[in-house]
């Protein structure tokens, strides 16, 4: 029968092997771990084993991670859920609740997450490298759209305005010089009407 992990780690050769070859090391004679886990679907599902007896089983992605680690490192395990079902928070007396408390008190060898990493937790337990990232957002209702009647002016920079006015004046002048003026209109009234006509075209306004 495999020895508990804390007993196995008393062997300096085992510790040295883990440190020098963390990616390929296997416990030569196996090891037995107590693993803390809390029910949090879909990441991890903790259920009582068929037949009762208080034995727990785990399922879900985190259980797959645990199985992969057990196969790679050659260890067996037992699930020991936290009595309060919590992940772990520091209590007023300085102790910790939940799975973090179990690991810090050495009631469990490891705890399955995914855990939120905080500075306070780092002081009492060690974390693996992050393998899951979760984006959190705050939602607010959408406001009603507001129509700005002068919004069409926003795309125009001063240079664009200058070019537009210059083009408008040149075009109006060309029509005055080359066009045919009604005989009942003076040069000034004809030019002003043409200028207003071109200005209405720019603003997409009708004649009336």
What lies within 8 Å, CB to CB, of 132 at 6+ separation is: 113, 114
Calculate what percentage of the chain has a pLDDT beyond 70. Answer: 95
The reported pLDDT for the residue numbered 91 is 93
Percent of the chain residues past pLDDT 90, beyond the cut:
50
Which residues touch 58 (CB under 8 Å, ≥6 apart)? Answer: 37, 44, 45, 46, 47, 66, 79, 112
Extract the runs of DSSP E, i.e. beta strands, from the chain. 32-36, 45-48, 56-59, 76-79, 110-111
Spatial separation of the C-alpha atoms in residues 37 and 112, rounded to whole Å? 5
Q: What is the mean pLDDT of residues 12-19?
A: 94
pLDDT at 191: 75
The reply to whether the predicted model has a pTM over 0.75 is no
pLDDT in tens, 45-93: 999 887 767 789 999 999 999 999 999 999 999 999 998 989 999 999 9
Which residues lie closer than 8 Å to 84 by C-beta, 6 or more apart?
Answer: 97, 98
Whether the CB-CB separation of 85 and 38 falls below 8 Å is answered with yes
pLDDT digits (tens, 9 = 90+) for 146-196: 888 877 777 778 888 888 888 878 877 777 777 777 777 776 777 777 777
């Amino acid at each position: 029968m495999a020895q508990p992990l804390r007993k196995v780690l008393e062997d300096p050769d085992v510790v040295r092997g883990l440190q020098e070859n963390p990616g390929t090391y296997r416990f030569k004679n196996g090891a037995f771990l107590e693993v803390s886990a809390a029910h949090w679907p879909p990441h991890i599902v903790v259920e009582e084993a068929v037949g009762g007896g208080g034995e727990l089983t785990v399922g879900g992605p985190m259980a797959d991670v645990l199985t992969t680690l057990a196969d790679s490192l050659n260890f067996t395990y037992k699930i020991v859920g936290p009595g309060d079902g919590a992940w772990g928070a520091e209590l007023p007396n300085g102790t910790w609740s939940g799975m973090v408390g179990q690991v810090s008190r050495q009631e469990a060898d490891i705890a399955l997450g995914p855990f939120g990493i905080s500075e306070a937790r780092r002081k009492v337990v060690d974390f693996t490298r992050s393998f899951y990232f979760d984006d959190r957002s705050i939602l607010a209702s959408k406001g009603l759209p507001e129509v700005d009647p002068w919004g069409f002016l926003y795309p125009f920079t001063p240079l664009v305005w200058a070019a537009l006015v210059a083009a408008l004046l040149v075009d109006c002048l060309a029509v005055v010089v080359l066009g045919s003026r009604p005989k009942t209109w003076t040069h000034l009234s004809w030019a002003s009407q043409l200028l207003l006509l071109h200005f209405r075209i720019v603003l997409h306004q009708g004649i009336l």
